[in-house]
Amino acid sequence: MSGLRTVLALTQGQEVPSSRFRWRQHEAWLRAQGLEAHELPARHGAYPPPQAWRRPAWGLRAWADSWQRVRQTRDVDLCFLQRHLIATLHTTERALRLPYVFDVDDAIFLGPRGESANAIARRAALTLCGNAFLAEHFASFGPVRVLPTAIDTTRFCPAPPAEGPLVIGWSGSSSGFAYLLALEGALGQVLRRHPEARLRVVADAPPPWRTLPPEQVEFRRWNAATEVAELQGIHIGLMPLDDSPWARGKCSFKMLSYMACGLPVVVSPVGMNAEVLALGALGLGPRHADEWVQALDGLLRDAEQRAALGRMGRQVAEQHYSRERIGPALLAALREAHGAR
């Protein structure tokens, strides 16, 4: 294996999606290939608590934990650094044993502390980027490779169409509610045209709708054990975005999870979303409110189109974004980074 035997992944937390899908879901496969692959997630999380009074104590604990984790990289061949050890700050990464892989799946170089990500990338043997937009930025600081976020197509898979009312669904973190709430007017029009339809949001908190009819809106609290079943219970998957640099840094995992479950997608054609849409007739890409209304109204009326788009989406997910396809690319990138010493 070109001398590469051990890899230690420093990730941002046990429940952080990037940790789960950019590293943890590949770990067992990497071990099956003979690699000693292990993860050390941030014990206190990489993101500060929302309460200001808790942040000083959290910061001390997070810094101490990051230092302890960095020290453990001295005994391995390669470190896989998943974003910052402490979000947006360049801290104990300076003490990382070289070489290391810097893994990025958001536009973390934006904002007042964006230079911290650039500084970490300068020392990396390789920066893995979740899409081409991110790779274009980080190519200024050293070697880069595009590595999409993989979807486990054996777990995220189609199920028989859910019985009962047709359900338009959105699943994700409440941090992404701004994109969904911007669509409230269009969603309201669609629900009024289809009083039997439902809008379901799966998240860590309910969105603060202001005008949608409450009898047509459902909230399901996200849980890792039920996340696939929740997707299998909807009929159309949504991923609205604005056309901003931050949105262009998104890696379309929400879209891919719908596709893997055989759902037609209605998504903003921004960044990687547009790249995925171009791979086949798997969904619709409305840009304006009236186009969103037209797209959703048409899909709710046409079961055959929903099924056809869903089949193509599943095929594209399997062929381009499955763990079976992305796992070997990750292993090749790890070997490349180790060989660059």
Check residue 1 and give its pLDDT. 42
Tens digits of per-residue pLDDT, 16-43? Answer: 999 999 999 999 999 999 999 999 999 9
Q: In this model, does residue 142 exceed pLDDT 70? A: yes
State the average pLDDT for the chain.
Answer: 96
**CB contact at 8 A, 109 and 117:** yes
**CB contact at 8 A, 19 and 46:** no
Tens digits of per-residue pLDDT, 102-122? Answer: 999 999 999 888 999 999 999
3-state secondary structure of 292: helix
Q: What is the mean pLDDT of residues 226-250?
A: 97
Q: In this model, does residue 95 exceed pLDDT 80? A: yes
Q: How far apart are CA 276 and CA 205, in angstroms?
A: 28
| Phi, psi (rounded to 5 degrees) for 45 | 80, 150
Tens digits of per-residue pLDDT, 262-313? Answer: 999 999 999 999 999 999 999 999 999 999 999 999 999 999 999 999 999 9
Structure tokens at 336: 């490349």
Q: How far apart are CA 157 and CA 260, in angstroms?
A: 5
Q: In this model, does residue 77 exceed pLDDT 70? A: yes
Q: In this model, does residue 9 exceed pLDDT 60? A: yes
Check residue 187 and give its pLDDT. 98
Q: DSSP code of 21?
A: I
Q: In this model, does residue 340 exceed pLDDT 80? A: no
**CB contact at 8 A, 18 and 105:** yes
Query: What is the identity of the amino acid at 197?
Result: A
Percent of the chain whose pLDDT exceeds 90 = 94
Query: What is the identity of the amino acid at 46?
Result: A
Domains detected in the chain: 6-150+323-339 (3.40.50.2000), 167-320 (3.40.50.2000)
Q: What is the mean pLDDT of residues 159-165?
A: 86
